[in-house]
Amino acid sequence: MESSFAIHAASDTHPGQIRSINQDSVLTFVRDRELGSALGLFIVADGMGGHKAGDIASRLAVDTIKEELSWMLDQGDDGATIVSPSINSSNKNTDELGQMEMRLKRAVEDANRAIFEYSQKNPEDAGNMGSTVTCALAFEKKLIIANVGDSRAYRLRNGELKQLTSDHSYVWQLVCDGYIEEEEIYDHPQRNVITRALGNQKSVEVDIRHFDLNLADRLMLCSDGVWEMIRNLKEMASLVGANPLESAVSNLIDAANRYGGYDNIGVVVAELSAID
């Protein structure tokens, strides 16, 4: 049975104005409507490390997460895409949400393990590799977000843009602890210190959050090459809201480059809409 909702998405990356190697990787995957409930997977990963280590790390993150979830993304609802047949509960929605959260979290943990093991096997070229990741699993009017690092997720609703993730960085912790104001992070001398990333350790703590979606909501995932450059939330909201989605993505990249493009740029924009 086809879904009564549709998910559409667009994405792109750009090296920016300073760096010669693009270490950002993105992914958008929207399941065929004929398979059942509206379902989409979206990822932004920002790699770190010398040589091409960061490029490899971000690509490992994206590929591993997609591979770990591919069995679910490519099946119809009748193929146990969301709730395991072994689950027996009167509260199907809770089981559905809990299982999706668990599977997304495990996929990110597997990505961490893949990057860590690669760096252990290639210490000379990739010993310092790592990656941030922010990924979202949207199904019908539910949204699950997993993140490690300082790539972000935002939701645009009724013209207002809201940050849905918390950065794992030294400066963000200073904001949370009340030592500095949020606008001070952009010029802080330790603004690039990440406190949590994929691949640095054998295991990693993954933040998982879930949200409700409304029709016409837009989701944006981006690396710090976007949010550090476009600092005005109203301007960013206007860019995210542009039509079509491909224009929203290209406008965000253009703006990030216009404001300096000091880092690689990775961005995904997705939207939930009704089917007539």
SS (H, E, C) 17-64: CCCCCCCEEEEEEECCHHHCCCEEEEEEEEEECCCCHHHHHHHHHHHH
| Per-residue pLDDT at 60 | 97
Measured between alpha carbons, how far is 31 from 39 in angstroms, rounded to an integer? 6
> Which comes out higher in pLDDT, residue 229 or 77?
229
Helix runs in 144-186, H state only: 170-176
Give the burial string for 80-96 (b: 16+ CB within 10 Å, else e): ebbbeeeeeeeeeeebb
- Asked if 249 and 10 touch (Cβ cutoff 8 Å), the reply is yes
| Per-residue pLDDT at 32 | 87
> Which comes out higher in pLDDT, residue 33 or 14?
14
CA nearest to 245, candidates 11, 5, 30, 4: 11
| Per-residue pLDDT at 78 | 61
Question: How does residue 89 score in pLDDT terms, banded at 50, 70 and 90?
Answer: very low
- Asked if 180 and 75 touch (Cβ cutoff 8 Å), the reply is no
Sequence-distant (6+) residues with CB within 8 A of 176 are: 166
> Which comes out higher in pLDDT, residue 222 or 83?
222
What count of Cα atoms within 13 Å lies in the side-chain half-sphere of residue 113?
9
pLDDT at 87 over 50: no
Q: Residue 96 is which amino acid?
A: E
The 10s digit of each residue's pLDDT in 106-121 is: 999 999 999 999 999 9
The 10s digit of each residue's pLDDT in 130-184 is: 999 999 999 989 999 999 999 999 999 999 999 999 999 999 899 889 999 988 9
- Asked if 43 and 19 touch (Cβ cutoff 8 Å), the reply is no
List 221's β-bridge partners, or say none.
Answer: 153, 268
Supply the DSSP symbol for 144. E
pLDDT at 95 over 70: yes
How many independent structural domains does the chain possess? 1
| Per-residue pLDDT at 249 | 98
> Which comes out higher in pLDDT, residue 42 or 190?
42
Tell me the pTM: 0.92
State the CATH number of the domain containing residue 132. Answer: 3.60.40.10
Three-state SS at 237 = helix
Q: What are phi and psi of 44, to 5 degrees?
A: -130, 130
Residues found in the chain: 276
- Average pLDDT in the 181-189 region? 89
Three-state SS at 135 = strand
Provide the domain limits for residue 138. Answer: 5-274
